Amino acid sequence: MPRTVWQPDPRWKDDPRWNNPSHLRACAEEAHYEPQSKAFHIPLYIRPDLHVQTTYQVPHISPKDCRDFCWKDCVIYGNAGLTTSDHHALLEVVYREWFPHRAEDKDVSDGNFFGKFMRFMPPATNLVQIVHFHEALCEKLSSLVPEIEDLEPAIPYAVPPKEETRRFGAYKLRETIFDVCIVIDAGWQEQGVLLVWKNEDVAKKYNCSEGGEVQAYDSSDADGLGAACVFRCPLKRAMQMVVSQDPLRAQKRAEYNEMLEETLGEAADRYNHSG
């Protein structure tokens, strides 16, 4: 796992904090966590089409806007009945599960995180509306991939003066963002979340099948879903399946978080088990 640690600043050479790797790592983790916290507390709201109220309109997305979706594992859609407390609880569960199992390529940098949180407002009346919106969003993102600049001069999270150090940050959409999305309604902590796969073959690829905590979704609003394959399960289990194709992320791990000053995750065993 790469370690994104702020570099000591020679101007603070007499301050033990700025020469302490643990403190500098905590600074990097906090700098990463803050924008994620803001994005979950005030998510991007999805509005109905002005002309067709039963359809939700994909907002205008520029190649630069695509970067908000880069290095995310999937989109998390919030729907009916969620409160501000749910937003906070959702972030806590996602962050604590994601941190010890985060992707190695970016560590705590470049917006690397598990989910891009978005909310339907007003709430979608059925799952079909959400699935159709996600399909349209993926189509739009896919069309913009060639226009996303691979490299751009970027200022890293570093102690002042930031202009002294520059790096190149690549922007990439993870494959999983096109394969699956998560839908959350009120009561998600007790009832679980909906895990929506592109189709049955994709679900099988990620070892997602009915059994144990994972239940097939059976509801009257499932008509019209097309090829989409839907299951209900606890959020942590959903996250585990989304990252199950990465051998390193599929391994349960425990790691000390300097920002929270506690160990997150569990040791041993693997995620990509069946049932």
Mean pLDDT of the residues in the chain: 86
Q: Within a 10 A sphere around the Cβ of 156, how many other Cβ atoms?
A: 16
Domain parsing of the chain, residue ranges: 37-265
Contact status, residue 181 vs residue 77, Cβ threshold 8 Å: yes
Quote the pTM value. 0.86
Beta strands 72-78 and 113-120, pairing class: parallel
CA angle 98, 100, 105 (to 5 degrees): 80
Task: Give the pLDDT confidence of 250-274 residue by residue, as tens digits.
Answer: 998 999 999 999 999 987 654 444 4
pLDDT confidence of 64, banded at 50, 70, 90? confident
User: Hey, what amino acid is at 72?
Assistant: K
SS3 content of the chain, % helix, strand, coil (to 5): 35, 20, 45
